[in-house]
Structure 1
């Protein structure tokens, strides 16, 4: 892209920096550089030409580049020696320029949320079914939040009874209930009707078991009585109490079959054994009701071998007493009441979840309608030119990861070739499927549920969750190219080990982290480490135990596995001894080792990719025209982890899988010889320790 293209490129409405501001800032930054520029380092050796300053092709003057320059200049603390504390040298004044409580990498998560919130508050007409579903849900949520909570509770109890009546006849409610009409899972069976109204994500078949205590029994009795009273239904309290005792006995009978030890270990693909063990329940029929009605059979054929079920657990395989014998020996009245009890319990849990989130209807919308929210953001606020550039960068990072394995001095050939194959076959998803650009494409996945202005919020809420389940099923069966996952509208990337797939989320491949106007080296330095990190999860302490298809398989030679563990122990020890500015020497490297391994892989392959750029063909970053490229790499990469003082309680921090932001700069960078060479750090200084950790 030419300098002219960079300067004149059009931008979306969120990029409103004026020309006057740009040049005022430019003048100020130039003066700042003259005053505060680092002292020149001794000349580098001829073997490291990248250390030398480069004559760039002009200066990037786009608003995005000006923002990047602002961050590089204004967040740094030039009084800090980079060899002593690089995190503080780069981020020391970050808190003077940001109100964000998290690392800078999460900035766009909040920004996208604000954009969606603004969209929802606007009274806009749309022909999009997905957008209209979001808007109806949001408006009902907001209206409910304005209601008296007592009235909301009364309304929900009325809705629960309506839903129960849709399921079928409830023995507690119907004095003339006839057990001969009870059908567990036939065409009009109770379970089928429950699943048509209520569904939850399902990827494995299990029995959710727990004993019903006296308190549980009393609470169930209270809930039932309240539902009946609110709906002006006459009832016999003694009959209800007797039914509740029968429900508790059935729940406790099932709980007695449970084996926690077996549950942890015995799982297998498919449900055929479980179906043979429990013929009274038609698992196929039940499961199909979780799918879009228009493609139930096709989805089932694609997914039936992907479900996992208990292999040899007592509540299925015990010869004398198991789920099947319990079902056959339990009166039908009790079975019917038990299913309605589970139905009520789950609906109450949803009501509690909904109530807890009151006051943040926009956040709830993004959780339940993430793909609709993503479409709104991309269509109205996103530079789609970034998509292709990000896709190309993933391939470049992949090539350098493969090169890393090829150059490893300790991997045996069999392990090396399996690692290369896994990297080659790693799938990628770049944030926003191109097919969503076709009008109505996303709406096809909203066709099974109709949202109405006349329905209650409680009904709309349950419909929305059922739709979410259908979309997950469509994703797993290949009809939907990305999952309806809230992460797609948050800033970052993620790796799915069971699929061996990398996903780049849209908010990450947007400014200020990534932009089509950035020089290529700036794009790599900014998010190359993030891409490499997520790819690195395929080779971290847990990811390395899965193959190229995501299946659990140990493809390492015993010698390589032992050497890998020795190398990651170095990271554990390093983190345990790290003196964090917010937590001191109180951290647990065993908890964070997988993330630290991914960090080390990520920064290494990102730097490999960065060093292959022809800097003479790229514009400079304003104020860094004479900066050595290798220094600039570490400066830009570190920006992602800038944050104000971390106020997370230590007890909470010790439960987190990720290391602290400070360590992700100082700890990781100190393991790299290239950092010490770039900044000429003395051996033994904090950023150039004698002992360094490395992986491949």
Structure 2
């Protein structure tokens, strides 16, 4: 599979949003937990907005009448006790709403008199409360998500999200459910609306291709079901015989690899064209370890994960039988394939040991690669791959290897297998299995159902989602910029892009202003860090070219799509993606190139471009809404922006300079000090447990540094905004200041539920910490949080020892 190494695009959330929708997706995986699922003012029609306002006024009128009735027989100065649920006190004389400051609140109102246009001077002057529809609705949503019986100084995640978790069971077809998922579902509804509309003459050809692809996936004529295994069988004839189906003693491993890699199939290794880490102005061939059918090497090696390995065997056997194999013989062949993959797993380097870019980057030539891994003719291989372009290679062509040790051992392993008939048969079955497994999502229902046993073992997912949702996500994967153009026109209007741009700049400024406070950093390195932060490129919403039909059409001009050939559409797309990637080898990297589609609920940082990207899909509630108080926008989207910015200074990002080049730009003592503080983060998160597993502090280090740095930068930016604009009106029904709401808004973005299998999978594979520890770990390092919530020293949320990098 053509692939980029994980850190190349450091995401906010690992594929949570697309969990069970896209072929092969695990889950960013990347909705609207507490707030957006209830309210999104920008998406309301004019009539809906009028009705909301009228309803809000009616509610206030009812509250006033209730107070009138409650005080009718009272003495002039009767205390009105306000319970936990009665968060507002209304002084009838002045028509004022007084926010509750304490849970057990007592307030004396003047003697009840008729409401007058001009309030009496004797009426106590309350703090103003925000009673706009957005404020009323978001306050209620925040409160409903909380568990106010929980001690915020012991477990802020339970305090912030307990109510949400109790009221949001995991839907069928998902292994986790949270804010990213809910927002993605809302975005799916928008995409469904626009893609099912009849296109007019002003629509682009690219958008027409998106609509055709979606129709082919929906398969109203049942073409996919009628064809069954036939498309895959025909495809295999172009690759070669499969010993599982037809006895074959010979194996042309060179020829098979040349054929399957043209489709981006990831057997044995992965390669791609990408920006050279040491020269961000040039693209270069890159190669890395790969070839496992399961998402993590430990599933092969840990006896405790035997259930997953058994489910993998059942999946493989079912697919083999559907392709025409005899069951017992198919099972035997697949057991040998798993044994071979287990050998690959043994030589695969764990992800947590690959975080130091300086150590794993090795620029060699194709000739060097031939000496390192001589199991195939690499010049012949790359020549065949580049035949779809006009580019000619020589043996001196540079290539970056990120897994030289693996490639040596893999070559030796394959060479050993090629010496025996049984070994050749196993290798042959392994290669063809990876071909077939990459196609099952595009075949009939029995093939798709065959994978359910593996999906359930890996993530605890049962059932399935609506076909249209699967097809929307699939269309976004294949022709996402065309679908994104339609999405943006429908859902991303007004000045959202400009306002988000302003917030990014505020976060950058706050990050830079904090640098002088870092006593562990020397002045020279501090100045270089300031320059790097200033040089960060930010891309907001969507790439501008998608609004230009000529440019958008050019994006997909080499991709042929029909409305009746779902399988063939995907075969053509596999070829299209590989060719498009290889054609960039002699091109200069584009600094403003997008790697995510506009509807995506996620964000990322790319170190070789020093670039942060925030698609339109995430610039919505609960992350961002222009109608929300700034405390919530800074606490949610502001932290996201700070998170991505801080990735430029985490344990991997810090190795790249402001131009995106990998080279040392830190003084030695600052490196030592950084590593010491980073170790504090590693040790802290390694103590957290999810089920029976400890969080991998080393594997999640970069994301944890980004979470902590992002929260700090966003909070400082909010404080600066307050100094320029003054205090915001309190939200009704909440006994919280806006500074407290900042932290609550941050926490509620991560409200989620998940299966124990999904938790285990996340611990093994995800560079992000589990949601609960993204909240608890980050906030327990914040002095400001502890002060605002009055947490005693050495309480769980306010440990005396805190970890701080940025």
TM-score computed with the length of structure 1 as normaliser:
0.70
Is 1:114 aligned to 2:189, yes or no?
A: yes
1:613 aligned residue? 721
Q: Is the 8 A contact 1:475 1:483 kept in 2?
A: no
Q: Which residue does 1:633 correspond to in 2?
A: 742
What is the correspondence of 1:21-170 to structure 2 with a 5 Å cutoff? 21-22=52-53, 24=55, 32-34=86-88, 37-39=100-102, 59=130, 61=132, 64-95=134-165, 98=168, 101-122=176-197, 124=199, 127-143=203-219, 146=222, 151-161=227-237
Q: Does 1:350 align with 2:460?
A: no
Residue matched to 2:593: 482
Equivalent residue in structure 2 for 1:515, among 612, 625, 629: 625
CA distance in structure 2 between the aligned counterparts of 1:410 and 1:275, rounded to whole angstroms: 42
Rounded to whole Å, the distance in 2 between the matches of 1:306 and 1:66 is 58
Q: In the TM superposition, what is the alpha-carbon distance from 1:445 to its structure 2 partner? A: 0.8
More strand by share: 2
Distance 1:23-1:603 versus aligned 2 partners, 3 A rule: farther
After TM superposition, give the deviation of residue 494 of structure 1 in Å: 1.4
Cα distance in structure 1, aligned partners of 2:100 and 2:139: 14
Of 576, 579, 601, which residue of structure 1 is paired with 2:709? 601
Distance 1:357 1:118, change over 3 A: farther
Q: Equivalences for 1:321-340 in 2 at 5 Å?
A: none
Choose from 457, 460, 464 the match for 2:573: 464
Match of 2:634 in 1: 524
Q: Conserved in 2, the CA contact under 8 Å of 1:682 and 1:688?
A: yes
Mind listing any 5+ residue stretches in structure 1 that lack a counterpart? Answer: 1-8, 42-52, 166-171, 173-183, 211-218, 228-251, 324-338
The answer to whether residue 787 in structure 2 is matched with residue 677 in structure 1 is yes
| Per-residue CA distance 1:118-163 (angstroms, 9 max, x = gap) | 44455545632222222222322332993575832124323554x5
Output aligned runs, 1:105-504, within 5 Å: 105-122=180-197, 124=199, 127-143=203-219, 146=222, 151-161=227-237, 202-203=271-272, 204-205=286-287, 268-269=362-363, 271=365, 273=367, 281=379, 285-289=383-387, 347-355=435-443, 360-453=470-563, 456-472=565-581, 477=587, 478=589, 481-485=592-596, 488-504=598-614
Report deviation, 1:509: 0.9
Shift of 1:616: 4.4
Which whole-Å CA distance do the structure 1 matches of 2:360 and 2:735 have between them?
Answer: 61
Name the SS of the counterpart of 1:92 in structure 2.
Answer: helix
1 CA distance for matches of 2:558 and 2:628?
A: 43
Q: Report how far residue 285 of structure 1 moved.
A: 4.9
Count of residue pairs the alignment pairs up = 614
Q: What do the CA deviations read for 1:651-695 (whole angstroms, capped 9, x no partner)?
A: 334323322323322332222221222223333333333222222
Shift of 1:274: 5.2
Q: Residues 587 and 26 of structure 1: is their aligned pair in 2 closer, same or farther, counting only changes over 3 Å?
A: farther
Distance 1:669 1:191, change over 3 A: closer
Aligned residue for 1:563, secondary structure, equals: helix
Distance verdict in 2 for CA 1:15–1:430, change over 3 Å? farther
Q: Judge conservation of contact 1:495–1:534 (CA < 8 Å) in 2.
A: yes
Q: Deviations over 1:546-587 (max 9, x none)?
A: 333444434444433333333233334433445x7x748954
Aligned equivalents of 1:568 and 1:311: distance in 2? 27
Deviation at 1:402, TM superposition (A): 1.8
- 2: CA distance between counterparts of 1:480 and 1:415? 25
CA offset at residue 446 of structure 1? 0.9
Change over 3 Å in CA distance of 1:683–1:154 after alignment to 2: closer
Alignment match, 1:643: 752
Contact kept? 1:271, 1:308, Cα under 8 Å? no
Per the alignment, residue 169 of structure 1 pairs with: none
Shift of 1:392: 1.9
Question: What 5-or-longer segments of structure 2 have no aligned partner?
Answer: 1-39, 64-85, 90-98, 105-124, 171-175, 241-245, 247-253, 273-285, 293-315, 325-339, 415-426, 450-466
Change (3 A) 1:198 1:398: closer
The answer to whether the 8 Å contact 1:87/1:662 transfers is yes
Q: CA deviation at 1:513?
A: 1.9
Does the CA contact (< 8 Å) of 1:588 and 1:654 recur in 2?
Answer: yes
- Equivalents in 1 of 2:494, 2:226: separation in Å? 47
Aligned twin of 1:538? 648
Mapped contact 1:69–1:621 kept (Cα < 8 A): no
Quick check: 528-537 or 72-81, which moved more?
A: 72-81
Partners in 2 of 1:601 and 1:695 — Cα distance?
7
- SS of the equivalent of 1:566 reads helix
SS of equivalent residue, structure 2 residue 539: strand
The alignment partner of 2:439 has SS state of helix
1: CA distance, partners of 2:391 / 2:46: 48
* Cα pair 2:543 2:594 within 8 Å, conserved: no
User: In the superposition, relative to structure 1, how do residues 289 and 193 fare at CA in structure 2: closer, same or farther (>3 Å)?
Assistant: farther
1:623 alignment partner in structure 2: 732
Give yes or no for contact 1:54–1:629 (8 Å, CA) kept in 2: no
Structure 1 585/284 Cα, relative in aligned 2: closer, same or farther at 3 Å? closer
Q: 1:268 to 1:16 in 2, by over 3 A?
A: farther
- Aligned partner of 1:242 in structure 2 is none
State the secondary structure of the residue aligned to 2:605: strand
Contact 1:192 1:285 in 2 (8 A): no
Cα distance in 2 for partners of 1:608, 1:113 equals: 34
Moved more, 474-483 or 371-380: 474-483
- Structure 1 position 11, deviation (Å): 3.6
- Preserved CA contact (<8 Å) 1:137 1:461: no
SS at match of 1:693: coil
User: Are 2:482 and 2:546, in contact at CA under 8 Å, matched by a contact in 1?
Assistant: no
Distance 2:486 2:442 in 1: 24
Structure 1 residues 107 and 64, CA gap change in structure 2 (3 angstroms): farther
**In structure 2, the residue corresponding to 1:102 is in which secondary structure?**
strand
Displacement of 1:466 after TM fit?
2.4
Distance 1:469 1:119, change over 3 A: farther
Taking structure 1 as reference, are residues 666 and 195 closer, same or farther at Cα in structure 2, changes over 3 Å only? closer
Look up the match of 2:34. none
Q: Which secondary structure does the structure 2 equivalent of 1:502 belong to?
A: strand
Deviation, 1:102, is 2.8
RMSD of aligned residue pairs (Cα, Å): 5.5
Asked if the contact 1:84–1:687 (Cα under 8 Å) also holds between the matched residues in 2, the reply is yes
Q: For 1:234-258, what per-residue CA distance to the aligned partner results, in whole angstroms no more than 9, with x for missing partners?
A: xxxxxxxxxxxxxxxxxx9xx99xx
Sort the Cα spacing of 1:563 and 1:484 in 2 relative to 1 into closer, same or farther, 3 A.
closer
Q: 8 Å contact 1:198–1:462 — kept in the other structure?
A: no
